[in-house]
């Protein structure tokens, strides 16, 4: 026995404008009134009705005297179409302003330990005051891969971004630089100036998330025929400061970290030959374009920027 398979032609995507037009026609029961409701000409509305009749396979509105009356199919649709049309309008209209005070949402911020130590308290305080229903999660910056932003695993990546991709959005938050730190009472604090030889002779704590034991300072010292002894490598400025505070070692740390107040630690004037290699750095916040127009995410970015500028002004 032969089997006959009916091949169905693929159905074209429906024109959502027809749904809006059908809603107006069924509500008004008149081509003229529906045209005025949608801001169309009478002839354009007539053509739209013709398309609706073709798509639905039903006349929908038929002549009765001087007016039009709905068919049984149209009466059935009249119960469903208004809700569907409103759903379409809601989806396609711009996002409405949100009430931040009633917002309930969690955001994940990837930031360094030093940023969290200096700015998190101020940032959390602002968020709690403006949006008590918001939860902030801070994730470590051990991995700087932008894929987490693309995948929506984090909402903001905060730090020094030496390399970015064109697809991501970036905003400057503050400027910072590295300064030398030693404990209170360190022998070098009694000097008005520190020579490269005196600086190199100290034991050093190096901050590197990747565990590197050399940086631009070593290159500058090498150009002067000097070398420093790195005693420890740590992943963050707070860790470096903890060691410095309890030893005669020195470390290069964030100036803003020290400006926030670190007991028992002082800055050390670096020799000019070394200071010039420590470029000013820009701390930025980076996010994926999918979040750019989201009102809640836009508010969050503004709060982060405000907290950083407030802290910078207080320093």
Considering the domain boundaries, does residue 116 fall inside one? yes
* pLDDT of amino acid 102: 94
CA distances from 64 to 24, 61, 71, 146 (A): 19, 9, 11, 65
Considering the domain boundaries, does residue 127 fall inside one? yes
Q: Specify the range with the lowest mean pLDDT, choosing from 80-94, 95-109, 116-130.
A: 80-94
Judge if 83 and 147 occupy the same domain: no
* pLDDT of amino acid 5: 45
Instruction: Report how far Cα 220 is from the mean position of its chain's Cα atoms.
Output: 37
- Round to whole Å and give the CA distance between 254 and 115: 10
CATH number of domain containing 207: 3.40.190.10
Q: How many domains does the chain have?
A: 3
Judge if 193 and 238 occupy the same domain: yes
> Domain boundary residue among 28, 60, 92?
92
Domain limits at 62? 16-92
161: CB partners within 8 A, 6+ apart = 144, 170, 284, 286
* pLDDT of amino acid 206: 94
Judge if 268 and 233 occupy the same domain: yes
- Round to whole Å and give the CA distance between 266 and 211: 25
More confident residue, 162 or 75: 75
Considering the domain boundaries, does residue 98 fall inside one? no
The mean pLDDT of 294-315, rounded to a whole number, is 87
Judge if 208 and 236 occupy the same domain: yes
- Round to whole Å and give the CA distance between 33 and 89: 20
Q: What is the DSSP string of 50-69?
A: HHHHHHHTS--EEEETTEEE
> Domain boundary residue among 43, 71, 92?
92
Judge if 185 and 267 occupy the same domain: yes
The mean pLDDT of 204-214, rounded to a whole number, is 89
> Domain boundary residue among 59, 92, 125?
92
* pLDDT of amino acid 248: 93
175-203 tens-digit pLDDT: 988 889 999 999 998 888 889 999 999 99
What are the phi and psi torsion angles at 147 (to 5°)?
-60, -30
The yes-or-no verdict on residue 266 having pLDDT over 70 is: yes
Interhelix angle 42-56/31-38, rounded to 10 degrees, is 110
The yes-or-no verdict on residue 168 having pLDDT over 60 is: yes
Considering the domain boundaries, does residue 6 fall inside one? no
Considering the domain boundaries, does residue 10 fall inside one? no
Q: Specify the range with the lowest mean pLDDT, choosing from 65-74, 102-111, 199-208.
A: 65-74
Q: Specify the range with the lowest mean pLDDT, choosing from 46-60, 80-94, 202-216.
A: 80-94
19-57 tens-digit pLDDT: 888 888 888 888 889 889 888 898 998 998 899 898 888
Judge if 154 and 293 occupy the same domain: yes
The mean pLDDT of 107-125, rounded to a whole number, is 92
- Round to whole Å and give the CA distance between 267 and 259: 10
Total residues belonging to the chain: 315
- Pairing of the two strands 156-159 and 281-287: antiparallel
119-166 tens-digit pLDDT: 999 999 999 999 999 999 999 876 667 888 888 899 999 988 866 677
The yes-or-no verdict on residue 111 having pLDDT over 90 is: yes
User: Helix/strand/coil (H, E, C) string of 259-303?
Assistant: HCCCCCEEEECCCHHHHCCCCCEEEEEEECHHHCCCHHHHHHHHH
- Round to whole Å and give the CA distance between 103 and 127: 11
- Pairing of the two strands 105-110 and 134-139: parallel
- Round to whole Å and give the CA distance between 220 and 197: 12
Judge if 127 and 256 occupy the same domain: no
The yes-or-no verdict on residue 110 having pLDDT over 60 is: yes
Query: Mean pLDDT across the chain, nearest whole number?
Result: 86
Judge if 39 and 184 occupy the same domain: no
* pLDDT of amino acid 7: 45
Considering the domain boundaries, does residue 11 fall inside one? no
Judge if 168 and 290 occupy the same domain: yes
Considering the domain boundaries, does residue 36 fall inside one? yes
CATH number of domain containing 78: 1.10.10.10
The percent of residues in the chain predicted with pLDDT above 70, rounded, is: 91
The yes-or-no verdict on residue 240 having pLDDT over 60 is: yes
Judge if 209 and 230 occupy the same domain: yes
pLDDT band at 249 (very low <50, low <70, confident <90, very high): very high
Considering the domain boundaries, does residue 9 fall inside one? no
Give start and end residues of each alpha helix (H) in 151-294: 196-201, 216-223, 237-245, 255-259, 272-275
- Round to whole Å and give the CA distance between 249 and 232: 9
- Round to whole Å and give the CA distance between 138 and 127: 14
**What is the pTM for the complete model shown?**
0.68
Judge if 217 and 253 occupy the same domain: yes
The yes-or-no verdict on residue 1 having pLDDT over 60 is: no
Judge if 227 and 80 occupy the same domain: no
């Amino acid at each position: 026995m032969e089997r006959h398979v009916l091949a169905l032609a693929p159905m074209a995507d429906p024109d959502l404008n027809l749904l809006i037009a059908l809603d107006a026609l069924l509500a008004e029961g008149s081509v003229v009134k529906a045209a005025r409701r949608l801001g169309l000409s009478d002839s354009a509305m007539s053509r739209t009705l013709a398309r609706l009749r073709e798509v639905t396979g039903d006349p929908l509105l038929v002549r009765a005297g001087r007016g039009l009356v709905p068919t049984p199919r149209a009466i059935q649709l009249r119960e469903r179409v208004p809700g569907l049309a409103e759903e379409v309008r809601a989806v396609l209209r711009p996002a409405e302003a949100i009430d931040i005070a009633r917002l309930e949402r969690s955001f994940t911020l990837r930031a360094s330990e030093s940023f969290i130590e200096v700015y998190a308290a101020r940032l959390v305080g602002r968020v709690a005051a403006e949006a008590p229903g918001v939860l902030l999660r801070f994730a470590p910056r051990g991995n700087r891969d932008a894929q987490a932003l693309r995948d929506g695993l984090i909402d903001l990546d905060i730090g020094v971004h030496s390399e970015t991709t064109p697809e991501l959005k970036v905003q400057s938050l503050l400027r910072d630089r590295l300064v030398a730190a030693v404990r209170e009472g360190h022998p070098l604090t009694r000097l008005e100036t520190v020579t490269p030889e005196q600086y190199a002779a100290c034991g050093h704590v190096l901050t590197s998330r990747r565990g590197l034991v050399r940086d631009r300072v070593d290159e500058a010292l090498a150009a002067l025929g000097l070398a420093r002894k790195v005693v420890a490598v740590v992943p963050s400025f707070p860790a470096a400061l903890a060691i410095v505070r309890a030893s005669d070692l020195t470390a290069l740390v964030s100036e803003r970290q020290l400006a926030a107040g670190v007991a028992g630690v002082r800055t050390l004037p670096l020799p000019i030959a070394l200071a010039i290699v420590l470029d000013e750095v820009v701390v930025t916040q980076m996010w994926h374009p999918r979040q750019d127009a989201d009102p809640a995410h836009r508010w969050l970015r503004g709060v982060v920027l405000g907290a950083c500028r407030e802290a910078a002004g207080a320093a």
